[in-house]
């Protein structure tokens, strides 16, 4: 069964305490304690913390993805099971807009009578948002389907779609395309050659499906990201175990109609996957992910550079404290790349934020680790123009909430990047 997380929630709504709990929730968000600047400044070097937030309600709330908005603020996408926030059903997709100071401007929930969540969001050219994830609310069976929601700039739902077939389907990434429509990538068991396959769907600006394609072998393919390339086609990345004894990086390049131009399988004989991809100025691709360590100490963060045809040009591995994961990569104006991910903390009791600055060939220029007891390897790290944002969840009860808190809260950290 393809699913993002195994979740069992108890639905509990009490209308008599909604407004009181909601007001306390807002107070808790506003009064969130600031980050200790001195400790961060010493550890972070050129990365300065701007704010750290923990927010949510009585039950479980999680953040899965965040993006920077043109006004200097941020949007956090995830899921909520808190009784005074969700619209209906078990969990709902959860969208929260912050201003540039880290204060909530608005929050919305989306979903139906069962579990719904959002995993990836992008701002659209009209100032609104498009996000994807998964839902069990809008089909007669209990199978998971791709959930696609378009909102205006205030988070008000304009339309939504459920996508998929008779099996399990989930969305990993959505991008607005140059023609004003959308490209959605994920994985499917509904059709294709294997247990699950890459799933690529093209829609117009109103969410009408124009075409859909599947890619993969006889076993399992998991898609993590898609981009529109300069030639108007698309590149999907993720992992596959259809072409060897273990998972390897899997790339599929298509034309604008979704017809496969080429596919590539990259990596070692143990484990390799890519979670983020960017097109480079010369037309090649840079991928961030994780790979089996050569010294058998576990997985390590990796950068993989290919040419425009997906041929491997170089691969670099960064071990951190013996185990590390790459989450995102950004090309720097001064040249080279900035890889962001996670590594074991020095006492190996948790995880530290792991940053690696490289030259244009992936060789390490410097690396930094940032400590925080809230960090987890499952958290999302996004790199924007003004810095980095981390989102996830933290099992820290809101100190101002008199109602017992049974779940985790959404976690958000903003780091200003002074590195050119």
Whole-angstrom distance, CA of residue 116 vs CA of residue 13: 17
pLDDT at 348: 86
Among 36-50, 164-178, 208-222, 293-307, which stretch is predicted with the lowest mean pLDDT?
A: 36-50
Is 127 a residue whose pLDDT tops 80? yes
Place of tokens 């123009």: 385
pLDDT at residue 316, as a whole number: 96
Q: Which of 64-68, 141-145, 306-310, 367-371 has the lowest mean pLDDT?
A: 141-145
Kindly report which listed range (131-135, 192-196, 345-349) carries the lowest average pLDDT score: 192-196
pLDDT at 409 over 80: yes
Half-sphere exposure of residue 288, counting CA atoms within 13 Å on the CB side?
25
* pLDDT at residue 229, rounded to an integer: 97
Place of tokens 């998972």: 247
**Average pLDDT for the chain:** 85
The predicted structure's pLDDT at residue 37: 37
Name the least confident of 218-227, 261-270, 410-419.
410-419
Of the two residues 29 and 324, the one the predictor is more confident about is 324
Task: Look at residue 33 in the predicted model and tell me its pLDDT.
Answer: 40
pLDDT computed for residue 194 by the predictor: 73
| Distance separating alpha carbons of residues 242 and 225, to the nearest angstrom | 19
The top-scoring range by mean pLDDT among 4-8, 305-309, 371-375 is 305-309
Q: What is residue 419's predicted lDDT score, i.e. its pLDDT?
A: 58
pLDDT at 405: 53
Q: Who has greater pLDDT, 57 or 418?
A: 57
pLDDT of 9: 34
Of 43-47, 73-77, 121-125, 202-206, which range is least confident?
43-47
Which pLDDT tens digit goes with each residue over 295-327? Answer: 656 889 999 999 999 999 999 999 988 899 999
Assess whether pLDDT exceeds 50 at residue 396: yes
Q: Distance between CA 413 and CA 376 in Å, rounded?
A: 13
Q: Comparing 339 with 113, which gets the higher pLDDT?
A: 339
Asked whether the predicted pLDDT for residue 193 surpasses 70, the reply is: no
pLDDT above 90 as % of the chain: 65
Q: Residue 3: pLDDT band by 50, 70, 90 thresholds?
A: very low
Inform me whether the pLDDT recorded for 263 exceeds 90: yes
Q: Return the pLDDT at 311.
A: 97
Which of 211-215, 311-315, 393-397 has the least mean pLDDT?
393-397
């Amino acid at each position: 069964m393809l699913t993002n997380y195994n979740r069992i929630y108890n639905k509990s709504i009490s209308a008599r305490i909604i407004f009181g709990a909601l007001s306390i929730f807002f107070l808790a968000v506003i009064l969130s304690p600031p980050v200790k600047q001195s400790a961060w400044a010493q550890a972070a070097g050129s990365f300065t913390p701007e704010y750290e937030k923990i927010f949510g309600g009585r039950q479980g709330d999680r953040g899965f993805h965040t993006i920077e908005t043109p006004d200097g603020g941020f949007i956090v996408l995830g899921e909520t099971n808190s009784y005074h926030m969700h619209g209906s059903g078990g969990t709902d997709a959860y969208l929260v807009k912050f201003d540039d100071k880290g204060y909530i401007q608005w929050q919305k929930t989306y979903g139906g009578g069962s579990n719904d969540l959002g995993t990836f969001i992008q701002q659209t050219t009209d100032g609104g948002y498009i996000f994807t994830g998964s839902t069990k609310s809008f089909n007669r069976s209990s199978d998971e389907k791709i959930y696609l929601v378009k909102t205006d700039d205030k988070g008000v739902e304009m339309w939504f779609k459920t996508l998929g077939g008779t099996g399990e389907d989930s969305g990993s990434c959505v991008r607005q395309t140059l023609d004003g429509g959308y490209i959605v990538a994920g994985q499917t068991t509904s059709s294709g050659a294997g247990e699950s396959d890459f799933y690529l769907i093209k829609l117009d600006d109103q969410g009408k499906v124009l075409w859909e394609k599947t890619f993969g072998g006889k076993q399992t393919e998991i898609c993590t990201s898609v981009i529109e390339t300069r030639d108007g086609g698309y590149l999907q990345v993720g992992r596959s175990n259809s072409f060897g004894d273990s998972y390897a990086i899997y790339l599929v390049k298509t034309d604008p109609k979704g017809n496969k131009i080429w596919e590539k399988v990259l990596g070692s004989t143990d484990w390799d996957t890519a979670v983020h991809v960017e097109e480079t100025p010369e037309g090649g691709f840079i991928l961030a992910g994780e790979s089996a360590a050569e010294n058998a100490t576990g997985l390590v963060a990796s950068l993989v550079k290919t040419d425009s045809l997906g041929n491997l040009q170089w691969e670099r591995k960064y071990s951190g404290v013996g185990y590390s994961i790459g989450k995102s990569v950004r090309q720097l104006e001064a040249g080279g790349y900035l890889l962001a991910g996670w590594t074991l903390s020095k006492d190996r009791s948790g995880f530290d934020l792991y940053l690696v600055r490289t030259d244009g060939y992936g060789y390490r220029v410097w690396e930094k680790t940032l400590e925080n007891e809230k960090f987890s390897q499952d958290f999302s790290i996004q790199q924007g123009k003004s810095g980095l944002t981390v989102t996830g969840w933290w099992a820290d009860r809101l100190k101002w909430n008199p109602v017992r808190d049974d779940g985790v809260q959404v976690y958000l950290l903003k780091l200003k990047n002074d590195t050119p």
